[in-house]
Structure 1
Amino acid sequence: MASFPIRRYLTPLIHVLVWGLFALSLVLLNPLLGRISVPPQFWVKQAFVFALWVGAFYLTAYVSVPRLLFRGHAGWFVVIILLTAAVVMLLSQGMESWLNLQQLMDQHLHAPGSGFRGGGPGRGRSRRFDMMGLLTTLLVLGISTSVAAVQKWQADAQRRQELEQQKVNSELSFLKAQINPHFFFNTLNNIYALTVIDTGAAQQAIHTLSRMMRYVLYDTTAETTLLSKELAFVQDYVALMKLRLTERVRVELTWPEPVRDVPVAPMLLLPYVENAFKHGVSATQPSRIVVAVRQPSAQVLELEVRNTQFPASATSLDEGSGIGLANTRRRLELLYPGRYSLNVDEAAPEGEFRVHLTLHIV
């Protein structure tokens, strides 16, 4: 069963209720109500003036304000507002003359038992009524202008928020698209070199790579993935890299047992690990790579990556580290603003390059 579209009719309903309340307040606050018996023509004229106020309200809100005030024509807007008020007053006086309302009101005011005496109460009442009508007209036009301005401000704020969200989503998609091809480009080169050395190891590498590709294709399309899947992906990557390493390279990988599954951004941890393998491995010298994932609590995730630093290697996260690492810093700013800390130490003890990332998930 389809739900009733409440929000679609909410604004018109609010307008009807507000105008109804306004009309009721004009009737109840009328100084003549209950004091004399007014002719029917009085209420006809009041209804006509009320209709003029409604028309002036929406004319100002949907025509004068958008086409003049919002386009920088403030002077013309003031002129149109004054002309609108003048037209309302002239039509009101014209309706009063056409109904001969002034004479009818004088007759009721001077009728026996009315409580009114004196030579000219009708004329004095008419002047007060005209002034009250003018003030009410200006009040209606002022409220109309204020409502239109507030709605414009809210619409602009919502539009800016939507554009900013679209910009962030587009940038994140672009950054993630850059990271994934960068990783697979390096991995395929490694497998190609491995086929010449060890066919069985190459087959195992292809199997591992296919499992990683399934993760990238199907599990990274959403905004977040489970931490257990992300860690499994990193473990597969490390296992794939170890197939081509010699005994001179010592790789240590630790992760929490058991893993507290929390949502994390996909492909967020890999660039730091990839950077260590890219710049922390030497063909002639002993090297060491340490990847440690910790969970001090369910809301905090820590990643520490250390690798041996060689003089000829550029291990800075901002220079010479490839596309992935440069974009990971930007992804952190977009996905976890104010909820992460990234420390890079290029002169860690034992001649190591150290990266420490602390992420507050919730």
Structure 2
Amino acid sequence: MESFSNRKYMPWLVHVMVWALLGSILLLWQPLTWRITIPTQFWFKQAVLFGLLLAVFYINYRVWIPRYLFLNRTSLFVILNICAVLLVSFSIQQVEIWVNLRESMENAFKAVRNSGIMRREDSLDYFSLLTALMVIGISTSVAAVQKWQHDAELREKLERARIDSELSFLKAQINPHFFFNTLNNIYALTVIDVEASREALHKLSRMMRYVLYESQQGTVQLSQEIAFAQDYIKLMQLRLTDKVTVQLTPPEPMHDVPIAPMLFLPFIENAFKHGVSATQPSRIEIIIRQEGAKIHVEVCNTLFTDKKSTNLEESNGIGLVNTRRRLDLLYPGRYELDVKENQTEKEYKVHLELDAV
């Protein structure tokens, strides 16, 4: 809250400091260079000039720039600013005449004429004119920079909202697909082994809690994701025969890092879908390693040529179709996904290298 408050009031603090500096210059710079006794009328004229510059700055900053310059009405914007500069210069001249400043300044210069200091003709007119131009230029620059920053922040928010929406859509596709398959497995298991089906329902409820609550935070710890994968594997093993060997090797030692939830599931699910046979020996091997901030995930399974394609891009599984797209959104330029199909050794291997930090 304190940080937000500081960010909110910082621009106003900068404005106050800049105007205090400009006011000091207007009041002190010229008197110091003249080395004469300054009449009271001069301070009054400088105060009027300061007020006019203040008005021109904020009228240009708050009204003319957003209404004309940012709406491509440039000609009217330029005309208004020229009129403002001329009005400031004309007003200052009228103030000088009204308070009889020129005569007062002439008397002050006469008092020090023998000292060699010469009167500077028309310096006040040029000074007010140039100062007004400078103020208008500064206000235009500040407004343009702020608009550019605001537009950049808006584009970033829109892009982030688009990515979040797309990720939510992809997760909504992946999760029901997984649970649809799992419920079918449990339904088939109830006919064979009631106790095993109860255990499967317990594991599924724990996994649903993970998906519905833990994964909604955007990121989970690596240990949580591995525990979820272990529950999934144990659940799938309930319906497998002794001909299938499944092994998951977690990293040793494990260092928790935040990663996207359910990131490993499509690869593991794909291995069970295409790498398991009820009649032939088959194996699934999952190895998860850590090298600093990098996470390596290898999923190897037996390749059966009589089954449908297991290719990550061609699989009909909803989760696998969107795996690359999800990785592109979550880890752009921070991952490598390699898929190899070895017909000779009858092995299908997926290797994911992910920079989690």
TM-score by length of 1: 0.90
Q: Could you give the per-residue CA deviations for residues 11-65 of structure 1, whole angstroms, max 9, x where no partner exists?
A: 2222111111112123332067553223211111111011101111111111111
Counterpart position of 1:43: 43
State yes or no: 1:240 paired with 2:240. no
Shift in CA distance, 252/8, structure 1 to aligned 2, threshold 3 Å: closer
Shift in CA distance, 251/38, structure 1 to aligned 2, threshold 3 Å: closer
Counterpart amino acid of residue 210 in structure 1? S
Cα RMSD between the aligned structures? Answer: 2.4
Structure 1, 25-34 or 150-159: larger mean CA deviation = 25-34
**Kept in 2: contact 1:37–1:108 (CA 8 A):** yes
Structure 1, 274-283 or 145-154: larger mean CA deviation = 274-283
State yes or no: 1:24 paired with 2:24. yes
State yes or no: 1:266 paired with 2:261. yes
Aligned partner of residue 353 in structure 2, secondary structure:
strand
Counterpart position of 2:309: 314
Q: Take 1:8 and 1:229, find their aligned partners in 2: how far apart are those partners?
A: 39
Deviation of residue 284 (structure 1)? 4.0
Q: Take 1:151 and 1:89, find their aligned partners in 2: how far apart are those partners?
A: 29
Aligned partner of residue 282 in structure 1, secondary structure:
coil
Counterpart position of 1:9: 9
**Kept in 2: contact 1:348–1:354 (CA 8 A):** no
Shift in CA distance, 106/32, structure 1 to aligned 2, threshold 3 Å: farther
Shift in CA distance, 150/171, structure 1 to aligned 2, threshold 3 Å: same
Counterpart position of 2:322: 327
Alignment of 1:46-125 (within 5 A): 46-111=46-111, 113-115=112-114, 125=121
Structure 1, 49-58 or 1-10: larger mean CA deviation = 1-10
Counterpart position of 1:141: 136
Counterpart position of 2:293: 299
Aligned partner of residue 342 in structure 2, secondary structure:
strand
**Kept in 1: contact 2:337–2:350 (CA 8 A):** yes
Deviation of residue 200 (structure 1)? 2.2
Shift in CA distance, 155/339, structure 1 to aligned 2, threshold 3 Å: same
Aligned partner of residue 221 in structure 1, secondary structure:
helix
Q: Take 1:318 and 1:71, find their aligned partners in 2: how far apart are those partners?
A: 47
Counterpart position of 1:167: 162
**Kept in 2: contact 1:27–1:33 (CA 8 A):** no
Deviation of residue 298 (structure 1)? 4.0
**Kept in 1: contact 2:26–2:50 (CA 8 A):** no
Q: Take 1:73 and 1:115, find their aligned partners in 2: how far apart are those partners?
A: 55
**Kept in 2: contact 1:110–1:117 (CA 8 A):** no
**Kept in 2: contact 1:262–1:298 (CA 8 A):** no
Q: Take 2:162 and 2:2, find their aligned partners in 1: how far apart are those partners?
A: 34
Alignment counterpart, residue 244 of structure 2, candidates 236, 243, 249: 249
Q: Take 1:70 and 1:305, find their aligned partners in 2: how far apart are those partners?
A: 55
Segments of structure 2 that go 5 or more residues without pairing to the other structure are none
Structure 1, 31-40 or 149-158: larger mean CA deviation = 31-40
Q: Could you give the per-residue CA deviations for residues 200-233 of structure 1, whole angstroms, max 9, x where no partner exists?
A: 2212211221221222223212122222221111
Q: Take 2:185 and 2:149, find their aligned partners in 1: how far apart are those partners?
A: 55
State yes or no: 1:129 paired with 2:129. no
Q: Take 1:54 and 1:268, find their aligned partners in 2: how far apart are those partners?
A: 58
State yes or no: 1:222 paired with 2:217. yes
Deviation of residue 115 (structure 1)? 3.6
Segments of structure 1 that go 5 or more residues without pairing to the other structure are none
Shift in CA distance, 3/158, structure 1 to aligned 2, threshold 3 Å: closer
**Kept in 1: contact 2:297–2:352 (CA 8 A):** yes
Q: Take 1:278 and 1:3, find their aligned partners in 2: how far apart are those partners?
A: 51
Counterpart amino acid of residue 273 in structure 1? I
Counterpart amino acid of residue 211 in structure 1? R
Q: Take 1:80 and 1:222, find their aligned partners in 2: how far apart are those partners?
A: 52
Q: Take 2:3 and 2:222, find their aligned partners in 1: how far apart are those partners?
A: 38
Counterpart amino acid of residue 314 in structure 2? E
Counterpart amino acid of residue 108 in structure 1? A
Deviation of residue 258 (structure 1)? 4.2
Equivalences, count = 356
**Kept in 2: contact 1:208–1:240 (CA 8 A):** yes
Shift in CA distance, 176/167, structure 1 to aligned 2, threshold 3 Å: same
Counterpart amino acid of residue 167 in structure 2? L
